[in-house]
């Protein structure tokens, strides 16, 4: 087997594993919400603070000066804080709050509206007309969320209003998470920026929600699931995905990582006994299909510099 083929296979495996770890993490959150008196206001600050702390410790041990370099420039420091609050913290909280108010499968798929919203943002900010595939993707995304929320009946809201609103906010947060740290990622290691963002977001959420005032049911199940969310759903999942991007590129990696909503939906049904109607599954397929459509290369698209890549949000 030649080196290039081996690199593609390894990159594909890493992206798929990362997607599965993320999908399972969402369902683990749902398990905690339903069985251990955990809330998103408790889970997200604990998850972000713990994962950010350990990731940052790793970088500090390797090279403390390099880990602190981001704070030497005022603009970089400002961007890290914005990323940690408006990007990472907003993204994580809205996602897990949507899970708490609905289920992991639905919340994960709704968040995959993000790439379609990124298309809208890029077209608006660059004042260009959308390509045909971008128009199709946005229409499919809107159609998918319509089916999930109403089951095709405009007068009926199947998904609770608060879950729908929070889910849409989580999709908006993907746009912020993807676009805002672009300048930082050109200068620094992506996991380092992630570590600082997690720690900042986790500390702020801890101050706001004070999770120490509400302790959930602590037993071996709760500890095991929480450790999975922190170690595999956050640190390992992101690391695998970023390594996949390095090996096979962001477009291919994002396609293989689309196993995430599939894993979340299947596990929600099997483990958490969530029942999805056929029209829900159709809406899921419509939204996930936007990723594949946006990944179709075109001459015009390839020639344009600054092409939007679908980055993961964890």
For the cut 80, the answer to whether the pLDDT of residue 251 exceeds it is: no
In degrees, rounded to 5, the angle at the alpha carbon of residue 128 between the alpha carbons of residues 127 and 129 is 130
Q: What would the 3-class secondary structure string for the chain be?
A: CCHHHHHHHHHHHHHHHHHHHHHHHHHHHHHHHHHCCCCHHHHHHHHHHHHHHHHHHHHHHHHHHHHHHHHHCHHHHHHHHHHHHHHHHHHHHHHHHHHHHCCHHHHHHHHCCHHHHHHHHHHHHHCCCCCHHHHHHHHHHHHHHHHHHHCCCCCCCCCCHHHHHHHHHHHHHHHHHHHCCHHHHCCCCHHHHHHHHHHHHHHHHHHHHCHHHCCCCCCHHHHHHHHHHHHHHHHHHHHHHHHHHHHHCHHHHHHHCCHHHHHHHHHHHHCCCCCCCHHHHHHHHHHHHHHHHHCCCCHHHHHCCCCCCCCCCC
Mean pLDDT of 87-92: 90
Q: Where does the pLDDT of residue 310 fall: very low under 50, low under 70, confident under 90, or very high at 90 and above?
A: very low
Per-residue pLDDT at 307: 44
Q: Where does the pLDDT of residue 268 fall: very low under 50, low under 70, confident under 90, or very high at 90 and above?
A: very high
For the cut 50, the answer to whether the pLDDT of residue 302 exceeds it is: no
Q: List Cα–Cα distances, 299 to 8, 178, 295, 303, 304, in angstroms.
A: 23, 24, 13, 6, 9
For the cut 90, the answer to whether the pLDDT of residue 95 exceeds it is: yes
- DSSP conformational letter for 235: I
CA 84, chain centre distance (Å): 14
Length of the chain: 314
* Tens digits of residue pLDDT in 139-197: 999 999 999 999 988 888 889 999 999 999 999 988 887 788 888 888 888 889 989 99
Mean pLDDT of 266-279: 94
Per-residue pLDDT at 186: 84
Return left, alpha or beta for 311; rule: phi > 0 is left, psi -120 to 50 is alpha, else beta: beta
Mean pLDDT: which of 3-12, 65-74, 304-313 is highest?
65-74
Mean of per-residue pLDDT scores for the chain: 88
For the cut 70, the answer to whether the pLDDT of residue 92 exceeds it is: yes
Secondary structure element (H or E) that encloses residue 72, with its range: none
**CA dihedral sign of residues 50, 55, 58, 63:** negative
For the cut 80, the answer to whether the pLDDT of residue 223 exceeds it is: yes
Q: Where does the pLDDT of residue 303 fall: very low under 50, low under 70, confident under 90, or very high at 90 and above?
A: very low
**Predicted TM-score of the model (pTM):** 0.88
* Tens digits of residue pLDDT in 25-48: 999 999 999 999 999 999 999 999
Per-residue pLDDT at 299: 54
């Amino acid at each position: 087997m030649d080196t290039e083929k081996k690199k593609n296979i390894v990159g594909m495996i890493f992206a798929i594993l990362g997607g599965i770890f993320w999908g399972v993490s969402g369902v683990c959150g749902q398990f905690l919400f339903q069985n251990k008196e955990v809330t998103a206001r408790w889970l997200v600050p604990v998850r972000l603070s713990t994962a950010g702390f350990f990731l940052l410790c790793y970088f500090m041990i390797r090279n403390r000066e390099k880990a602190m370099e981001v704070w030497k420039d005022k603009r970089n420091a400002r961007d890290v804080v914005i990323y940690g609050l408006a990007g990472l913290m907003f993204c994580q909280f809205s996602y897990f709050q949507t899970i708490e108010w609905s289920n992991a499968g639905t919340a994960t798929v709704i968040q995959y509206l993000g790439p379609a919203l990124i298309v809208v943002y890029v077209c608006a900010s660059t004042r260009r007309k959308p390509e045909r595939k971008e128009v199709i993707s946005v229409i499919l995304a809107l159609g998918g969320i319509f089916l999930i929320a109403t089951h095709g009946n405009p007068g009926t809201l199947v998904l609770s209003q608060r879950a729908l609103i929070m889910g849409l906010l989580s999709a908006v947060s993907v746009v912020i998470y993807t676009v805002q740290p672009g300048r930082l990622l050109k200068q620094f290691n992506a996991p380092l920026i992630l570590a600082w963002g997690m720690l900042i977001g986790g500390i702020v959420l801890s101050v706001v929600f004070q999770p120490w005032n509400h302790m959930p049911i602590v037993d071996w199940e709760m500890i095991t699931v929480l450790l999975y969310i922190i170690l595999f759903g956050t640190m390992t999942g992101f690391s695998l995905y970023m390594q996949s991007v390095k090996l096979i590129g962001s477009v291919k990696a994002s396609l293989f990582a689309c196993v995430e909503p599939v894993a979340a939906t299947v596990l929600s049904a099997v483990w958490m006994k969530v029942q999805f109607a056929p029209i829900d599954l159709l809406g899921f397929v419509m939204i996930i299909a936007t990723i594949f459509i946006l990944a179709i290369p075109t001459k015009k698209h390839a020639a344009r510099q600054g092409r939007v890549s679908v980055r993961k949000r964890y």
